[in-house]
Amino acid sequence: MRGRTPPLLLTAGQRFDLETVPRLREALADARHEGSRQSILDISQVCFGDSSFLHELLAARYSHHRLVLAGPIPHELRQRFLLTGTLRLFTTVRSRRSSGLV
């Protein structure tokens, strides 16, 4: 039986929309298939994320072993999460450092 790998840290870039979300989807799928017990997605540098970005995070949250969002969460994203009532659905940490991986 193969052992689980340690948490995997992913870093999201600047902008996420219909054109760029497929790269995020692919990275999250790769992390899931590597067998890590959790993935930490650093979203602190995301300056824009449209509804397709939020949709992808929600899809990953429900299909992923354990997805943690690391911040600080940029204001625009925090507003989108709060307006849609989805922030409470995610496990969040204040920073990569507080995730224990840095």
pTM reported for the whole predicted model: 0.85
Tens-place pLDDT, residues 24-71: 999 988 888 877 778 899 999 999 999 999 999 999 888 866 889 999
Q: Which residues pair with 39 in a beta bridge?
A: 8, 67
CB 70 within 8 A of CB 93: yes
The angle subtended at Cα 15 by Cα 14 and Cα 17, nearest 5°, is 160
pLDDT class of 1 with cuts at 50, 70, 90: very low
